A and B are shown apart, each in its own frame.
Chain A
Amino acid sequence: MRKMFLAVTLALTLAACSDPYGACVKADADIASGISAGLKTVAQLQQQGTISTVEALTVAGYLEYANQADEAFGKCAQTAHTAGSKAGAFTACANIFNATLNNPTELALIHVSNSSASQTINTIITGLTTGVSGVIAALGGA
């Protein structure tokens, strides 16, 4: 559900933005919103006893890692915009963001025993990476 939410939101977002900077900052904001919702979901799953405290901390830790990458992405896009939007600058920012999210070391830390909760967590994380992939595609090398 979260994956769908992010994918749809980003598609609408990118279609509504006429320039790469606008697309990047809107994606930055939407992904930050998705991370907020993800943190809330993790807290609720822990509260319900669906995931353990350790699992909640691990997944929340990844979401904070993604949040920091999102912060860096926004700053990168702002710098590229200020510098005059040189060719490929925005796409480079998004590629770094994408590579950070897909860091195998970080992803390997995420493990949830409950299959239903695992699916939920996977959907949240896939939603983030799918969203960033969508940004890269929409930028078209800009």
Chain B
Amino acid sequence: MGTTAIVNIALGILNTILGFIAQIKSQGGLTDDQILAEAQTVTASNDAAYAALKQALTGAGIVSQMANPPAPAAKPPVK
């Protein structure tokens, strides 16, 4: 499978995610906790989309490796 075909698959995944987001937003009237759950779903989907895209691009044998971004840690201040 060529790079174009693989990237097309990754684009398909991203389109599915964006459609999912639009569907959630159209529902409206969500509580703050539901919005947070929505955000967590979308960020998890972004993780998957990035992994798919990275696999698509590196899997074609063009790039052997790239820097893995460090996971930032955020905690509220303790007072």
Write out the residue numbers on chain B whose beta carbons fall within 8 Å of the beta carbon of A93.
74, 76
Of A54, A64, A76, A86, the contact of B46 (CB 8 Å cutoff): A64
Write out the residue numbers on chain A whose beta carbons fall within 8 Å of the beta carbon of B49.
36, 39
Write out the residue numbers on chain B whose beta carbons fall within 8 Å of the beta carbon of A43.
7, 10-11, 14, 53
Write out the residue numbers on chain B whose beta carbons fall within 8 Å of the beta carbon of A21.
32
Given contacts A36-B42, A76-B76, contact A64 B7 (CB under 8 A): no
B46 pairs with A67, CB closer than 8 A: yes
Asked if B67 is at the interface of the complex by the 8 Å CB criterion, the answer is yes
A47 pairs with B75, CB closer than 8 A: no
Given contacts A39-B50, A53-B63, contact A65 B72 (CB under 8 A): yes
A29 pairs with B50, CB closer than 8 A: no
A57–B55 Cα distance when bound, in Å, is 10
Of A25, A42, A106, the contact of B36 (CB 8 Å cutoff): A25
> Which residues, 61 to 79 on A, are CB-close (under 8 Å) to B?
61-65, 67-79
B43 pairs with A54, CB closer than 8 A: no
B32 to nearest A CB, angstroms? Answer: 5
Write out the residue numbers on chain B whose beta carbons fall within 8 Å of the beta carbon of A36.
14, 17-18, 21, 42, 45-46, 49
Asked if A44 is at the interface of the complex by the 8 Å CB criterion, the answer is yes
B29 to nearest A CB, angstroms? Answer: 12
A81–B18 Cα distance when bound, in Å, is 28
A-B contact pairs, 7 of them (CB 8 A): A28-B43, A39-B50, A64-B69, A67-B47, A72-B74, A96-B74, A100-B74
Question: Besides the contacts A29-B42, A62-B69, what 14 more A-B pairs have beta carbons closer than 8 Å?
Answer: A25-B39, A28-B35, A28-B36, A29-B35, A32-B42, A36-B18, A37-B18, A53-B3, A54-B63, A57-B54, A60-B53, A72-B73, A89-B79, A92-B76
